[in-house]
Amino acid sequence: MIDVGALRSLRAIADLGTMARAAEELGFTPSAVSQQIKRLEAQVGVRLVAPAGRRVVLTPAGQALVATAPEVLNALEKSVAAARSVDAGSPRGVVRIAAFSTGVRGIVAPALGHVRRRFPEVRAEVVELDPVPAVYAVESGNADLAMVHDADGVTVPVPPGLQRAHLHTDIGDLALPVGHPLAALGSPIRRSDLRDCQWVTSPEGTVCHRWFERLFAAADQQPDVVHSVDDFGTQMALVAADQVVALIPRLARPRVPDGVVLRELHDAPRREVHTVWRASSEADPALRAVLAEVSSYAD
């Protein structure tokens, strides 16, 4: 019988190209991954990896073994999920969740309070990951549930063997100083009204900055960005103190400080949030319990 953990490591090496990167992804040391591969080679009886400069490549035998890995791992997971599904007791076990930062803050963290109270034998573990790495973590078996978004308007691809469900639509609101002229408007604020605003926004290159840029995609002038700050609580503080405005995703919204008001935007930027999990694990009562609580909280 081959070592299932070593098989996961071999698959990570195939995807990432080096033992160091595979070890980082799996939470092991490179030495531990190297020992796993040597043990797997001994069990199979053939070489599975070969050096290629600073990288390693899979031998034809290694490639053949990795090609069958999803089927093997899914079959094992289905067996475990089937056994747990007929257990008459309360859901139990570990559910590993990979989610983007504001999804953790706005949905996962509050939902896990309900999980702990209702299902005390379920242990939920959270790691912060952007959408593409989160999907890979689920596919590779390093996470059981991912929360992803399409903030750039592009749906994150989901490989075969994974399931996806729509969870939530996140919308951006305008944070304004109380004395700002736009703060007195009763109807949703139009993008054309933002021409003379000064802004605090997330740093360039971040997902939230690209979301902010979509506000001005069809405009004939660039926004006047005064401050570049990643933390939304700090953005709110600058709105209150320096008469700038900010675009705040509702999932990311911290406590609104004195001196700041929130206003809806007409045709506001939005992002669709989805959950992703392996089809082979969906009978697992612990996963289903966590997924149900997360989905209920997001409604």
Q: Which domains does the chain have, with CATH numbers?
A: 4-84 (1.10.10.10), 90-166+272-298 (3.40.190.10), 170-268 (3.40.190.10)
pTM of the model: 0.73
3-state secondary structure of 217: coil
Q: What is the per-residue pLDDT across 50-69, written as a single tens digit (0 to 9) for each?
A: 887 777 888 888 888 878 77
Show the CA angle centred on residue 54, arms to residues 48 and 60, nearest 5°. 25
The alpha carbons of the chain give a radius of gyration, in whole angstroms, of 23
Q: Are 145 and 277 in contact (CB under 8 A)?
A: yes
Q: Would you say residue 17 has pLDDT above 80?
A: no
pLDDT at 37: 84
Q: What is the per-residue pLDDT across 110-146, written as a single tens digit (0 to 9) for each?
A: 999 999 999 999 999 999 998 988 998 898 888 999 9
96 pLDDT band (50/70/90 cuts)? very high
203-226 CB burial, b ≥16 within 10 A, e <16: eeeebbbebbbbbeeeeeeebeee
The CA distance from 93 to 283, in Å, is 13
pLDDT at 139: 84
- Per mean pLDDT, which range of 26-40, 130-144, 164-178, 206-220 is the poorest? 206-220
The CA distance from 236 to 257, in Å, is 7
Number of H helices, E strands in the chain: 10, 11
**Over the chain, what is the mean pLDDT?**
85
The CA distance from 248 to 288, in Å, is 31
